[in-house]
Amino acid sequence: MDVGNPYLNIAIFLAFVVVTLVIVVRVSRTTTSVGDFYHGGRAFTGRQNGIAIAGDYLSAASFLGIAGAVAIYGYDGLLYSIGFLVAWLVALLLVAEPLRNTGKYTMADVLSFRMQQRPVRTAAAISTLAVSFFYLLAQMAGAGGLVALLLGIDSKVGQSLVIAVVGALMIVYVLVGGMKGTTWVQIIKAVLLIIGAGAMTLWVLALNGMNLSNVLGEAVAVHPEGDRILEPMLQYGASDTSKLGFVSLAIALVFGAAGLPHVLMRFYTVPTAKEARRSVTWAIGLIGAFYLFTLILGFGAAYLVGVEAIKASPGGANSAAPLLAYELGGTLLLGIIAAVAFATILAVVAGLTITASASFAHDVYNGVLKHGQADPAQEVKVARRTALTIGAISIVGGVLANGQNIAFLVSLAFAIAASANLPSILYSLYWKRFNTRGSVWSIYGGLLSALILIMFSPVVSGSETAMIPGADFAWFPLSNPAIVSVPLGFFLGWLGSVTSPEHDAAKQAEMEVRSMTGAGAERAVTH
């Protein structure tokens, strides 16, 4: 099913790429230090950073995956929106301000503040790379599906080439612009995405007398499941296992955001803790508005495009929003929305890549290998080389994950973040007894349990939609591991701490004062 004019779609997308590359090149002239590359010199206001956080968070999963999930599963699809949004309350209330006060560049700065540096930084870096990889899989898969729809490229080879192009552009953004350039790309993309989704939402409502009930009624009338799309458990109520799977998904979504390294790193780009709070407030407002849009876009796509047409399109469920744009405004609106979706993918993968490369360079190269004494210029070089490597790996992973529902793939990244990162972050900030053994056990235990359970779940094998459809080595029945791996991460953090005598009271007191007041937050973390 080919829609729109491929040449117009490409032209609009290229226009966005050219404009953002010009901005990135201009910004790169002011990227002269390690701080500029990692956190943009802390030169962004709370409002700017809040918009950028929204840009980082509203990924291809939010725009393409959730709209498709709502169109096909109704109420159950909307649960992604609710989970992603509620997760921000955890980040706002428990993590944003103390994290900004305690750290300098990366999540590991906080986790290792009162611990032994080398083991904790190594564990945190490995966890960051794992979460970033799964998140990158989702964005790359979204790129493949979107281009398949817009350009009529049905062959896997063609889609793989497109994924490679997206990966190459991502690497350019990071290498040239650093955090400053990436942040401005995020801001532009967030504004375009919210305006585009808002315009489509108003359009759908206008067709129905600005009455949401009419939109829902139209969707019910044409949907194969009828009234059931307005009720819970259409997707998750088939069995006790699927209901348990829903609980597991909810745990991942609600607790995952506060452990996402690329989101946490954004708190370091503002000059004060007050601006960090302001950032999250702006982000919640923008993200909340957008997720309300996905409700109307999903049900609008269900009746204007049709569930069967969405499922039959090259991008599957991920094509719901672009197909709705084509139905509403024809070729031109499709081209604009397609460009916004591409911008979404590019901006998010750039943010993920700079986070992962910064973690490796700052935490592993400088913190572990060079004992905190690395030359700053050399550290940035290592970060840029790491970005190249991550880009290449993500391209390969994106090719393998092409065709998966991207909202679901992101939920796996959330599960790993909630299992491996969040327990250590919360314990480090709020539990005096927490120590090195607890941190290492928590990170590795949460990470390995999540990865092992994913590997032996229906996501990878044993189902029609699995990444390896011909194989069947799944013994874990749930698609999301959070219901097991998140409690395990918290338990191992407690167990490791109470079985080790290590406790640095002076460092703990310093961290408590700094995290609560911001005193000394500008000093380098080099102990």
Q: Return the H-helix or E-strand segment holding 509.
A: helix 505-517
Q: Mind listing the pLDDT tens digit for each residue in 484-525?
A: 999 999 999 999 999 988 877 787 788 888 777 766 655 444
What is the model's pLDDT at position 34?
64
Coil vs helix vs strand at 309: helix
Say which residues have a Cβ less than 8 Å from residue 187's Cβ, sequence separation at least 6: 48, 51, 52, 55
Using CA atoms of 249, 255, 260, 263 in order, give the dihedral in degrees to the nearest 10: 120
Residue 200 has pLDDT above 70, yes or no: yes
Report if residue 428 sits inside a domain.
Answer: yes
- Specify the number of domains making up the chain: 1
Q: Pick the more confident residue, 178 or 302.
A: 302
Tokens of 144: 């493949």
Report if residue 226 sits inside a domain.
Answer: yes
Report if residue 404 sits inside a domain.
Answer: yes
Cβ proximity of 260 and 413 under 8 Å: yes
Q: Pick the more confident residue, 260 or 401.
A: 260
Cβ proximity of 113 and 355 under 8 Å: no
pLDDT band, very low/low/confident/very high, at 299 (cuts 50, 70, 90): very high
User: CA 152 to CA 454: how far, in whole Å?
Assistant: 32
Query: CATH code at 361?
Result: 1.20.1730.10
What is the model's pLDDT at position 239?
62
In angstroms, what CA-CA distances link 288 with 53, 284, 346? 13, 6, 22
Residue 217 neighbours by CB distance under 10 Å: 14
pLDDT band, very low/low/confident/very high, at 30 (cuts 50, 70, 90): low
pTM, two decimals, is 0.79
User: CA 103 to CA 471: how far, in whole Å?
Assistant: 44
In angstroms, what CA-CA distances link 527 with 126, 282, 520? 21, 34, 13
What is the model's pLDDT at position 483?
92
For residues 96-118, give the mean pLDDT: 78
- Closest to 294 in 3D by CA, of 135, 59, 479: 59
Residue type, 417: A
Residue 3 has pLDDT above 80, yes or no: no
Share of the chain above pLDDT 70, in %: 89
- Closest to 420 in 3D by CA, of 446, 438, 448, 440: 446
DSSP 318: G
For residues 28-47, give the mean pLDDT: 67
Question: Which range, 5-19, 193-207, 269-283, 364-378, has the best average confidence (pLDDT)?
Answer: 193-207
pLDDT band, very low/low/confident/very high, at 254 (cuts 50, 70, 90): confident
What is the model's pLDDT at position 405?
61
Share of the chain above pLDDT 90, in %: 12
For residues 340-359, give the mean pLDDT: 78
What is the model's pLDDT at position 522?
52
For residues 192-208, give the mean pLDDT: 91
Cβ proximity of 156 and 148 under 8 Å: no
Alpha helices in 302-375 (DSSP H): 307-312, 320-358
Tokens of 483: 């219901």
Q: Pick the more confident residue, 422 or 101.
A: 422
Report if residue 525 sits inside a domain.
Answer: no
Cβ proximity of 97 and 112 under 8 Å: no
CA torsion sign for 329, 331, 336, 341 is positive
Residue type, 45: T
Task: Compute CA 446 distance to the chain's CA centroid, rounded to the nearest angstrom.
Answer: 19
Label residue 157 left, alpha or beta by phi (over 0 means left) and psi (-120 to 50 means alpha): alpha
What is the model's pLDDT at position 472?
81
Give one DSSP letter per residue of 194-231, joined into a string: HHHHHHHHHHHHHTTTT-HHHHHHHHHHHSTTGGGGGS
User: CA 505 to CA 190: how far, in whole Å?
Assistant: 43
Report if residue 1 sits inside a domain.
Answer: no
Tokens of 204: 């759908």
Q: Mind listing the pLDDT tens digit for each residue in 413-452?
A: 888 899 999 999 899 888 888 999 999 999 999 999 998 9
Cβ proximity of 70 and 294 under 8 Å: yes
What is the model's pLDDT at position 404?
65
What is the model's pLDDT at position 497?
92
For residues 386-410, give the mean pLDDT: 77
Say which residues have a Cβ less than 8 Å from residue 271's Cβ, sequence separation at least 6: 42, 43
User: CA 59 to CA 139: how far, in whole Å?
Assistant: 7
Tokens of 271: 């000059």
Q: Mind listing the pLDDT tens digit for each residue in 58-88?
A: 876 677 778 888 999 888 888 888 888 888 7
Give one DSSP letter per residue of 128-156, joined into a string: HHHHHHHHHHHHHHHHHHHHHHHH---SH
Tokens of 108: 């590991």
Question: Which range, 8-22, 435-449, 454-468, has the best average confidence (pLDDT)?
Answer: 435-449
Using CA atoms of 377, 383, 389, 392 in order, give the dihedral in degrees to the nearest 10: -110
Report if residue 522 sits inside a domain.
Answer: no
Tokens of 351: 């943010």
Coil vs helix vs strand at 39: helix
Q: What residue numbers bound the domain in which 133 lies?
A: 6-517
Cβ proximity of 178 and 28 under 8 Å: yes
- Closest to 74 in 3D by CA, of 219, 229, 223: 229
Q: Pick the more confident residue, 148 or 285.
A: 285
Report if residue 150 sits inside a domain.
Answer: yes
Least confidently predicted of 14-23, 224-233, 392-401, 459-468: 459-468
Mean pLDDT of the chain: 81
Using CA atoms of 11, 12, 15, 16 in order, give the dihedral in degrees to the nearest 10: -140
What is the model's pLDDT at position 527?
38
Label residue 178 left, alpha or beta by phi (over 0 means left) and psi (-120 to 50 means alpha): left
Report if residue 326 sits inside a domain.
Answer: yes
User: CA 75 to CA 309: how far, in whole Å?
Assistant: 20
Residue 202 has pLDDT above 80, yes or no: yes
What is the model's pLDDT at position 487?
95
The residue written with tokens 């067709």 in the block is 207
